[in-house]
């Protein structure tokens, strides 16, 4: 079976090569993270043919890329996966001479904590987790602890994600978002179980519609999704919790397995052009790391420096802590 | 090889490639150790199985069994009269059967989302009840165990109706006439003639509903709002957020072993009778 599949694939590949002799670049990105004309424009001006694939989670991408012969040249891991991937020798070092457009990156993304010299990655998009809420309910929330308040009458949702929920509980208790101390995690678990009785559900992107329709009055949600909800309903507002909150960035990387390093650099440099970055953001409704892109600036998508200072870039948990966190999450969910 | 074995080759290949081989891979994974960043690595270990002895997981398994059993029973109670009705509908039989399978023309995911729209606070049900003046506050119809049960019953009812129909259809109407002639009232005839004769349909339908309900993860997730964990969600989480494929494999194999055992006992008992 495997042999037959390989045969069909190679037959198809050689057939298409016969017609198309352009070099090929394989790009693996998150779904809905690009504009419709980004790839066609690049193909036209570079004479390269692009194979573009999408994934829905870092795990899905890592599962393929970890093998070291995934066939992809470029991927977009989240910031806390960069060092682990570099340690596993999956990432190619970037040649900055081929990336003059790096200067377009916003200042704080020129030397991010997860890769200060940008040796392996180029920050692409970023977001944060905060609270989106209905202004009709007073007082407006200012921090995570407000999501434990009875004033929402049970119409609160939290993200269906252990890292974010346990992290918010830790922050409510004034502990670090990515703590691995068992006692601190135990305290966070108690807080989550207490909260579970009075919240409606654990929802991710589905929370958006329910906020707009008024079913849900407050939610722990990503800044980008919150902005989409706020665009649809004037009653909604967003706050970055005063206790601190997590920031996330997805980064473009070139895989070490790639045999087309030059081409890959050419594409990354193209992505860094202000007008290309702006077109992508208009489609994806996210926040770009490109400082020169002319895009809509809202305080939700691009908070001011004093608010940004409260944000944390969570690290990925080590295996033992991951296991503890998983058990705690299961316990919260089945409580 | 004789001709007959040649004809069996496609079936054997299908079973081997799409059932035995993946199962062997899952078995292999369940004995490995979780890698630091997901995936699975050596050394070989039984630790994934010993971890499952945790009462937390036993409780989740028990809850899943209770939920699946309740869904099966409800499907039986709702499906039996429906199947009986269809089996005696004469010329309209085919139309009704088509209606039973009609939902399969749309994706299960889409149909579950449709329920969310019906049941939420600003959904159709609550809006109509409020307009009729029957309620003043929206009822909490979503994100609880009742909603999960509703979703399961809705999703798997056709799997109960179809085998029941097949069994009921085969019952000779003359037997019911004989029962009536001998003085049995309609309900007695159902209890003493129809139900015993439709036993194979009841067994098949119950198995077809119980087993997928036991492993369900989509319905508890969407209708339960992530507030309940069934064993299917536990397995799913290991392969996604927790990145613990070995533990997820072990959990799914335990579920498989449990289901097989249950099936075996159930079928044995059904045969004996």
CATH of the domain at B240: 1.10.3720.10
Q: Is residue A10 part of a domain?
A: no
Query: What distance in Å separates the CA atoms of residue A230 and residue B84, rounded to the nearest whole number?
Result: 52
Say yes or no for a CB contact (<8 Å) between A334 and B60.
Answer: yes
CA distance A295 to chain B (A): 32
Give the rounded distance of the alpha carbon of B271 from its chain centre. 22
Is the pLDDT score of A122 beyond 70? yes
Instruction: Give the pair of three-digit tokens for residue A269.
Output: 């440099």
Predicted pLDDT at B265: 87
Nearest residue on chain A to B224, alpha-carbon basis: A201
**Best residue in A75, A134, A199, A326 for a mutation probing chain B (most B CBs within 10 Å):** A326
Residue B110 domain-assigned? yes
CB contact under 8 A, B241 and A163: yes
Q: Does residue B11 fall inside a structural domain?
A: no
* B42 lies in some domain: no
**Res. A7: pLDDT tops 70:** no
Tell me the average pLDDT across B137-149: 92
- Best of B41, B120, B140, B241 to mutate (most A CBs within 10 Å, chain A): B241
Q: pLDDT per residue over A223-281, tens digit each? A: 999 999 999 999 999 999 999 999 999 999 999 999 999 999 999 999 999 999 999 99
Is A333 in contact with B226 (Cβ distance < 8 A)?
yes
Contacts of B63 in chain A (CB under 8 A): 334
Q: Which of B226, B234, B238 sits opposite A203 (nearest CB)?
A: B226
Contact A326 B142 (CB under 8 A): no
Measured between CA atoms, the residue of chain B closest to residue A64 is B39
* Domain contains A58: yes
Q: How far is CA A53 from CA A74, A92, B21, B190, B210, in A?
A: 10, 20, 27, 58, 38
Residue B73 CB neighbours (<10 A)? 14
The average confidence (pLDDT) of chain B is 91
- Domain membership flag for residue B84: yes
Which value, in Å, is the radius of gyration of the alpha carbons in chain B?
Answer: 23
Cβ-based contacts of A160 with chain B (< 8 Å): 221, 226
**C-beta separation of A117 from A207 below 8 A:** no
Please, are residues A168 and A158 in contact by the beta-carbon 8 Å criterion?
Answer: yes
Asked whether the CA dihedral A187, A190, A194, A195 is positive or negative, the reply is: positive
In angstroms, what separates the C-alpha of B142 from chain A's closest C-alpha?
9
Residue B37 falls inside a structural domain: no
Rounded CA-CA distance B212/B231 in Å is 11
- Tokens 């290991």 map to which residue? B238
Q: How many other β-carbons are positioned within 10 Å of the β-carbon of residue B132?
A: 8
Nearest CA in chain A to B16: A1
Residues A272 and A208 in one domain: no
The number of beta carbons lying within 10 Å of the beta carbon of residue B136 is 7
Residue A35: left (phi > 0), alpha (psi -120 to 50), or beta?
A: beta
Same domain, A278 and A218: no
> Residue A1 domain-assigned?
no
Residues A311 and B91: their CA atoms lie apart, in Å, by 69
A113 and A252 part of one domain: yes
Q: What is the pLDDT of residues A66-118, one digit of tens each?
A: 888 899 999 999 999 999 899 989 999 999 999 999 999 999 999 999 999 99
Alpha helices in chain B (DSSP H): 3-15, 21-30, 47-51, 55-87, 93-101, 108-119, 124-131, 145-169, 173-181, 186-189, 195-197, 199-214, 218-223, 231-239, 245-272
Nearest by CB: A200 against B57, B143, B237: B143
Q: Rounded distance, CA A254 to CA B130, Å? A: 57
Does residue B194 lie in a domain region? yes
User: Which residue bears the tokens 């398994």?
Assistant: B61
Whether A124 and A271 have beta carbons less than 8 Å apart is answered as: yes
CA of A82 to nearest chain B CA: how many angstroms apart? 11
Smallest CA–CA distance, residue A84 to chain B, in Å, is: 7
DSSP character at residue A98: G
Q: Residues of B with CB below 8 A from A159's CB?
A: none
C-alpha of B261 from chain center? 16
d(CA A95, CA B230) in angstroms, rounded, equals 49
Chain-centroid distance, C-alpha B181: 40
Nearest to A295 by CA among A271, A272, A279, A273: A279
Confidence of residue B37 (pLDDT cuts 50, 70, 90): low
Nearest to B228 by CA among B147, B172, B160: B147
Structure confidence at residue A320 as a pLDDT band (50, 70, 90): confident
Does residue A152 fall inside a structural domain?
yes
Instruction: Establish if A279 belongs to a structural domain.
Output: yes
Chain A residues with CB-CB distance to B241 below 8 A:
59, 161-163, 326, 329
Mean pLDDT of A274-303: 93
- The answer to whether the beta carbons of residues A240 and A305 sit under 8 Å apart is no
- CATH number for position A181: 3.40.190.10
Contacts of A328 in chain B (CB under 8 A): none
Shortest alpha-carbon distance between residue A200 and chain B (Å): 7
Q: Same domain, yes or no, for A63 and A85?
A: yes
Residue A120 domain-assigned (yes or no):
yes
Where does chain A have alpha helices with state H?
A: 2-19, 38-46, 58-65, 82-87, 162-172, 182-196, 207-213, 223-232, 261-271, 274-284, 305-308, 319-333
CB-based contacts of A92, cutoff 8 Å, min separation 6 = A120, A253, A254, A255, A256, A258, A261, A264
Contacting residues of B for A333, CB less than 8 Å apart? 226-229, 233
Which residue segment(s) compose the domain that B178 sits in? 54-272
| CA gap B206, B270 in Å, rounded | 12
Q: How far apart are CA B26 and CA B232, in angstroms?
A: 15
Please indicate, yes or no, whether residues A91 and A158 belong to a single structural domain of this protein.
Answer: no
Does any domain span residue B39?
Answer: no
Range of the domain at A138: 127-246+305-334
pLDDT of residue B43: 86
With an 8 Å Cβ cutoff, the interface of chain A facing chain B consists of 1, 57, 59, 62-63, 66, 81, 84-85, 88, 154-155, 157, 160-163, 196, 200-203, 206, 210, 213-215, 316, 318-319, 322-323, 326-327, 329-331, 333-334
Model confidence over B209-241: pLDDT tens digits?
999 999 999 999 999 999 989 999 999 888 888
Give the C-alpha separation, A20 to B105, whole Å. Answer: 40
- What pLDDT, on a 0 to 100 scale, did the predictor assign at position A2? 43
Is residue A91 domain-shared with residue A223, that is, in the same domain? no
Residue B112, min C-alpha distance to chain A (Å)? 13
Going by the DSSP 8-state scheme, the letter that residue A8 receives in this structure is: H
Q: Tell me which chain A residues have a C-beta less than 8 angstroms from the C-beta of B224.
A: 201
Residue B267 has pLDDT above 90, yes or no: no
Q: Considering the entire predicted model, what is its pTM?
A: 0.85
Q: Count structural domains, chain B.
A: 1
Same domain for A41 and A82, yes or no, is yes
Would the CB atoms of A330 and B226 count as touching at under 8 Å?
A: no
Residues 27..46 of B with a Cβ closer than 8 Å to A: which?
34-39
Between helix B199-214 and helix B245-272 the angle, nearest 10°, is 170
A195 located within any domain: yes
pLDDT tens figures, A189-202: 999 999 999 999 99
Task: Tell me, yes or no, whether A31 and A86 share the same domain.
Answer: yes
Residues A172 and A108 in one domain: no
Distance CA A23, CA A268 (A): 16
Tell me the nearest-neighbour CA distance from A146 into chain B, angstroms: 20
> Is A227 contained in some domain?
yes
Q: Which residue of A has its CA nearest to B64?
A: A334
CA distance B118 to B103: 16
Nearest residue on chain B to A326, judged by CA atoms?
B242
Cβ contacts of residue A37 below 8 Å, gap of 6+? Answer: A279
Q: For residue B36, tell me if it sits in a domain.
A: no
Say yes or no to pLDDT of B25 above 90. yes
Interface test with A, best of B25, B242, B245 (most A CBs within 10 A): B242
In angstroms, the separation between the Cα of residue A210 and the nearest Cα of chain B is 9
Distance from CA of B227 to the nearest CA of A (A): 6
Q: Do A322 and B244 touch (CB under 8 A)?
A: yes
CA gyration radius for chain A? 22
Pairwise CB contact (< 8 Å): A316 & B37: yes
Close Cβ partners of A228 (under 8 Å, ≥ 6 residues apart): A208, A285
Domain count within chain A = 2
- The answer to whether the Cβ–Cβ distance between A201 and B39 falls below 8 Å is no
Residue of A nearest to B119 (CA): A215
pLDDT tens, A134-180?
999 999 999 999 999 999 999 999 999 899 999 999 999 999 998 99
- Encoded tokens for A133: 């809420």
A225 with A149, same domain?
yes
């Amino acid at each position: 079976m495997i042999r037959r599949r390989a045969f069909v694939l190679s037959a198809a590949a050689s057939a298409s090569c016969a017609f198309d002799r352009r070099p090929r670049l394989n790009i693996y990105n998150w779904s809905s993270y690009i504009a419709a004309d980004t790839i066609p424009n690049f193909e036209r001006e570079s004479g390269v043919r692009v194979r573009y694939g999408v994934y829905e989670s870092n795990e899905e991408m890592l599962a393929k890329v970890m093998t070291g012969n995934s066939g992809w040249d470029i991927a977009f891991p989240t910031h806390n996966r960069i060092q682990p991937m570099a340690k596993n020798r999956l990432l190619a070092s970037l040649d900055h001479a081929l990336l003059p457009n790096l200067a377009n990156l916003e200042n704080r993304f020129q030397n991010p904590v997860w890769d200060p010299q940008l040796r392996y990655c180029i920050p692409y998009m970023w977001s944060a987790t905060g609270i989106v809420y209905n202004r009709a309910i007073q007082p407006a929330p200012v921090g995570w602890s407000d999501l434990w308040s009875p004033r929402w009458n049970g119409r609160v949702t939290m993200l269906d994600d252990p890292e974010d929920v346990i992290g918010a509980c830790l922050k409510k208790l004034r502990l670090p978002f990515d703590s691995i101390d068992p006692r601190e995690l135990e305290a966070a678990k108690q807080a989550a179980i207490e909260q579970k009785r009075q919240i409606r559900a654990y929802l991710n992107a589905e929370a958006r519609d329910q906020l707009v329709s008024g079913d849900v009055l407050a939610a722990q949600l990503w800044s980008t999704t919150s902005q989409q909800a706020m665009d649809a309903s004037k009653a909604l507002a967003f706050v970055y919790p005063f206790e601190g909150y997590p920031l996330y960035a997805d980064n473009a990387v070139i895989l070490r397995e790639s045999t087309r390093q030059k081409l890959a650099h050419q594409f990354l440099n193209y992505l860094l052009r202000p007008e290309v970055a702006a077109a992508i953001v208009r489609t994806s409704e996210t926040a770009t790391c490109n400082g020169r892109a002319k895009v809509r600036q809202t305080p939700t998508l691009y908070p001011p420096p004093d608010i940004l200072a409260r944000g944390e870039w969570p690290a990925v948990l080590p295996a033992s802590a991951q296991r503890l966190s998983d058990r705690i999450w299961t316990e919260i969910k089945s409580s | 090889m004789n001709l007959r074995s040649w004809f069996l080759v496609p079936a054997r290949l299908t079973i081997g490639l799409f059932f035995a081989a993946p199962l062997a891979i899952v078995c292999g994974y369940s004995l490995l150790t979780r890698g630091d960043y997901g995936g699975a690595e050596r050394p070989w270990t039984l630790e994934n199985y010993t971890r499952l002895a945790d009462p937390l997981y036993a409780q989740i398994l028990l809850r899943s069994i209770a939920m699946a059993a309740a869904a099966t029973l409800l499907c039986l109670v709702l499906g039996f009269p429906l199947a009986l009705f269809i089996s005696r509908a004469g010329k309209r039989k085919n139309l009704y059967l088509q209606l039973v399978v009609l939902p399969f023309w749309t994706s299960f995911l889409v149909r579950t989302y449709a329920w969310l729209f019906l049941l939420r606070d600003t959904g159709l049900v609550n809006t109509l009840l409020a307009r009729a003046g029957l309620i003043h506050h929206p009822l909490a119809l979503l994100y609880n165990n009742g909603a999960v049960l509703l979703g399961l019953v809705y999703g798997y009812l056709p799997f109960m109706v179809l085998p029941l129909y097949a069994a009921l259809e085969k019952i000779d109407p003359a037997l019911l006439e004989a029962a009536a002639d001998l003085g049995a009232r309609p309900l007695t005839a159902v209890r003493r003639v129809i139900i015993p004769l439709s036993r194979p349909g009841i067994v098949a339908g119950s198995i077809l509903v119980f087993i997928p309900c036991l492993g369900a993860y989509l319905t508890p997730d969407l209708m339960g709002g992530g507030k309940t964990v069934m064993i299917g969600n536990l397995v799913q989480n290991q392969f996604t957020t927790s990145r613990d494929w070995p533990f997820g494999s072990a959990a799914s194999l335990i579920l498989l072993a449990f289901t097989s055992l249950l099936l075996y006992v159930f079928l044995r008992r059904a045969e004996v009778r």
